[in-house]
Amino acid sequence: MRVLLAGATGLVGSQVLRRLLADARCTAAVAPGRRPPALQDPRLSSPVLDFDQLSLEAPWWNVDAAICALGSTLKQAGSRQAFQRIDHGYPLAIARAVRAHGCTVFALNSAMGANPRSPFFYNRVKGELERDLRALEFASLALVRPGLIGGERAEPRPGEQAAARVLGALAPVLPRAWRINPAGRIADALVEAALAPRPGVRVIGSAQLV
């Protein structure tokens, strides 16, 4: 399968990319972004683009499956408007582009609590994206909903680090859904959803990512 990966330079996305290139089922990978990933491979193409000015004419939109691991935080984005653009607008534009070129499989790294009617802005944006992706009618749509993601980020998030220490200490007594989800486990779920797609919409919750 030929797979497009958005967000290949992030914590989860970088692990997704390594797994795709190590899997014989992936014959080619396309990782468009504002900068190319550090990983190099003969099967990998890394077109540099501006997410605000996507061109639907590019031939690399023609893929069998797509994985989206794009994501930010309100602090990183700088405003609610910017966060909405990065975490909803960009992934939806990518999904529409691959769908227009015949892609039938899409896997999204979403978030626990995603709900378009949530009173919490972050969860509401994630839920609105899931709702809009469902409307595109992919033959196979996987919504991966991790809780707190475990792993070393290039840009540390002090709040996440503090929460990880607390959850790590409490792990033996916490329900599975509230435990830390290692980035590698999330990447495994996204890759398997893309390379071994199941028909319909499937939600993969945090309890399955421990």
- Give which of 145, 147, 139, 200 is closest to 171, Cα–Cα: 147
Yes or no: say if 83 and 72 are a contact pair by the CB < 8 Å rule.
yes
Q: What beta strand segments (E) does 92-205 contain?
A: 105-109, 140-144, 149-150, 181-182, 200-204
The whole-number pLDDT of residue 171 equals: 53
Per-residue pLDDT in tens (0 to 9) along the chain, 210 residues: 999 999 999 999 999 999 999 999 999 999 999 999 989 899 999 999 988 988 888 999 999 999 999 999 888 899 999 999 999 999 999 999 999 999 999 999 999 999 999 999 999 999 999 999 999 999 999 999 999 888 565 565 555 555 445 445 445 555 666 568 999 999 999 999 999 999 999 999 999 998
Residue in the structure block whose two tokens are 């707190």: 148
Phi, psi of 188 (to 5 degrees): -60, -45
pTM: 0.88
- Return d(Cα 93, Cα 166) in angstroms, integer: 37
